[in-house]
Amino acid sequence: MRIAVIGAGRMGAIRAEDLISGGAHVTLLNRRDNVAKELAQKLNCNSAEYADLLKLDFDGYVVATATNSHLAILDQLIPLGKPILCEKPISLTVEETDLVIDKCQKYGTEIQVGFQRRFDPPIARAANKVSTGEVGTLYAMHMYAHDHEPSTLEFLEGSGSIYRDLHVHDFDLVRWITQSEIKKVYATQAVREHQQYAKYNDADVSLISLTTESGVQVAITGTRHNPVGQDVRFELFGSKDSITVGLNSKTPIHDIEGELDFAQRRYSGFIERFRLAFVEESRAFHNFVLEKTPNPCPPISARQALSVAIACEHSINTGAAVEIKN
């Protein structure tokens, strides 16, 4: 199977490495051809000049570039009719995301969106427990999304907001686990420590209350800095069971009672926290290209999660809860 990985940065390297380990023949392409060539030498795979992207024949494509380049690349790839793995988000606006979805329907092209948390084995097991009824009636979810290190100004310029960048993963998981659309959100935010967020009307602390159409109540807390490490976890409370995901020896939090056996070194970033999830996601794309499985994360998922993120921003601006029209 021949896969073109477009982008030779951190995510391009991860996707290429995992696809190669899974048996795919990977060719790296990047707008700076020398960067793709250097990474290809490290990974012992092929590279090609970016200008030759449409001249070469591949079974599938991975778009692992900056968000602001996604639309232009997808515009070239969608008419080819081959499976595409695109890192989230497809775009920072619903309107542009809809244009991509419409174009995919026109050409019969499938895009798998890079919501890697769905592929984290413990998260997948928790979702299965909900879907099979082991948790019973799902009462509520508590979610934590705390970055280790604050963002740079260069990153913030194109990230959208804490909701479109960080919490969009949480919104996707809520929809996926509950199998229900999100109906209403109320959000608050603040800049408590890192003033670079104020420059972009963003925040380093957020708190979100949302309700699904099925009635599940969800509380989400986010911070752009956690001195202990990268903390992403959640709790599910139901009529038959209460379970937690992401609470383990490397969870970056201190136990004041000192009764839990935490490791000295905790998760240092989202790549480390979800490294196995990326492996499983790339494997799922491999099987999707081979037509062994259906698309595990279609672009409508990106659209719906983005709609919730934008509703959070409206809630901040109005100071009121916002109904979401899907």
pLDDT one-digit tens code per residue, 169-187: 999 999 999 999 999 999 9
Close Cβ partners of 319 (under 8 Å, ≥ 6 residues apart) = none
The answer to whether the CB of 77 falls within 8 A of the CB of 61 is yes
What are φ and ψ of residue 244, in 5° steps?
-130, 150
| Last-in-domain residue among 100, 115, 130 | 115
Encoded amino acid at 16, one letter: A
Of the CA atoms within 13 Å of residue 300, those in its CB half-sphere come to 7
pLDDT tens digits, one per residue of 24-70: 999 999 999 999 999 999 999 999 999 999 999 999 999 999 998 99
Evaluate the omega torsion of the peptide bond into residue 89 and state whether it is cis, within 30 degrees of 0: yes
β-sheet bridge partners, residue 211: 184, 217
- In the numeric block, the tokens 């409370």 are attached to 237
Same domain for 156 and 123: yes
Q: Is 133 found in the same domain as 207?
A: yes
Residue 219 lies in a domain: yes
Residue 221 lies in a domain: yes
**Residue 125 DSSP SS3:** helix
Type of residue found at 170 = D
pLDDT at site 158: 77
Q: Give yes or no: residues 178 and 309 share one domain.
A: yes
Indicate which CATH number applies to the domain containing 39: 3.40.50.720
Identify the pLDDT of residue 134. 98
- Residues 201, 305, single domain; the answer is yes
Tell me the pTM. Answer: 0.95
Q: Which residues of the chain have pLDDT under 50?
A: none
CATH number, residue 173: 3.30.360.10
Q: 113 - beta bridge partners?
A: 86
Is the domain of 110 the same as that of 127?
A: no
Q: Which H or E element spans position 201?
A: none
Listed residues 85, 115, 145: the one ending a domain: 115
User: Is 294 within a domain?
Assistant: no
Structural domains counted in the chain: 2
Cα distance between residue 76 and residue 79, in whole Å: 7
Phi, psi (deg, nearest 5) at residue 111: -115, 125
Q: What is the pLDDT of residue 152?
A: 86
What CA–CA distance (Å, rounded) separates 65 from 158? Answer: 13
Instruction: Give pLDDT, residue 325.
Output: 86
Tell whether 138 and 224 lie within a shared domain.
yes
228 lies in some domain: yes
Whether residues 258 and 153 fall in one domain:
yes
Only one residue has tokens 């959070």, namely 312
Structural domain includes residue 132: yes
Tell me: do 74 and 178 sit in the same domain.
no
- Looking at the structure, tell me whether residues 196 and 105 fall in a common domain: no
Residues 196 and 260 in one domain: yes
Which residue, of 96, 115, 134, is where some domain finishes? Answer: 115
Q: Is residue 14 part of a domain?
A: yes
Residue 185: strand pairing partners: 210, 322
CA nearest to 190, candidates 174, 208, 169: 208
Domain that holds residue 55: 2-115
Q: Is 275 part of a structural domain of the chain?
A: no
Is there a domain that residue 293 lies in?
A: no
pLDDT at 156: 85
Question: Do 137 and 105 reside in the same domain of the chain?
Answer: no
Residues 57 and 196 in one domain: no
Task: Please tell me the distance from the alpha carbon of residue 75 to that of residue 80, in angstroms, as a whole number.
Answer: 10
Residue count (the chain) = 326
